[in-house]
Amino acid sequence: MAGLPETGDGGSVTAPPSTREGRVPVATNESRARIDASPLAPFADLWRHRALLAALTRREIESRYRGSALGLLWSLATPLLTLAAFTFVFSVIFRVKWGDSSLGHGEFALVAFAGLLIFSAFSDSLVRSPGLVLSQANLVKKVVFPVQVLPAVILGGALFQLAIGTVVLLGIGAALGLVPGITALAFPLVLLPLLLGTIGLSWIFSAAGVYFRDLGQAVSLLTMLLMFLIPIFYPASAVPEAFRPIVELNPLAVLVEETRAVLLWNRWPDWSRLLWAGLLGWAVAWGGYVFFMKLRRGFSDVL
């Protein structure tokens, strides 16, 4: 991953200076120490390495656009162009509407775009996870480095793009008459289960990817299929009655629908569904962290 410390000609890792000089600090962690499996262990670990996490996340974001003429402006251009393409395809070519609602063709593109924002933040992190530790073999073997922060770094980069996309969504939505109300303040609560579940799965896939090198291709394929199995380009009401319980129990589908509710429909989220998604997200985050820390002990032997 771009932005991480590089090895020198002699193969040894050069410890970077402090963040005050714009460099990444090296945090210490005992890879052979007893694993803390308490319910809050994943979050305490990330908080303990928050300075390193912030520095690496900043470098991750900057490295995406380094060397390009527009630089970080691409982070704004990407969602704008995506929304423009959606509007053209759904409004001009297909001329579709969202179910039985009174939304026009242009608003359909906004509704689909809102769902795609959530899914993209999820999929971007998952697709990169299986090769994450493999790409940082020198850090795993040569320096005492908290490898468990790497999945959080790529999630931070995905959240930055999600934030830019959300600003574009709200701005264009307001221009089309879908003015966000006070319910938009609940959006961070909708994102919380997404963060928990995504970081947990990223820990699982990044650890398993060290031992199963084909995992990256499998995750990419499954992620692409998943995009069509959740209500991004169609309303949940369009799903046949026999399969609708599957959608109702899919936490990602719940988060997509609740995002539209708070940002576009001016409705408060369904708190019971959000609580279910949050509890499941916490369980995945905790299980993923423990799984990663257990498998981490053998990383240096495999790499």
Q: How far apart are CA 223 and CA 287, in angstroms?
A: 21
DSSP line for 234-295: S-GGGS-GGGHHHHHH-HHHHHHHHHHHHHTS-----HHHHHHHHHHHHHHHHHHHHHHHHH
| pLDDT tens-digit readout, 192-227 | 999 999 999 999 999 999 999 899 999 999 998 998
Region for residue 187 given its phi and psi (left: phi exceeds 0; alpha: psi -120 to 50; beta: otherwise): alpha
**Which ranges constitute the DSSP H helices of 97-250?**
105-128, 137-142, 150-175, 187-211, 215-227, 244-249
Spell out the domain ranges in the chain.
53-302
- This prediction has a pTM of 0.83
Q: How far apart are CA 230 and CA 140, in angstroms?
A: 36
pLDDT of residue 101: 57
| pLDDT tens-digit readout, 68-113 | 666 667 777 877 788 788 777 776 777 666 665 555 666 778 888 8
Q: How far apart are CA 99 and CA 92, in angstroms?
A: 17
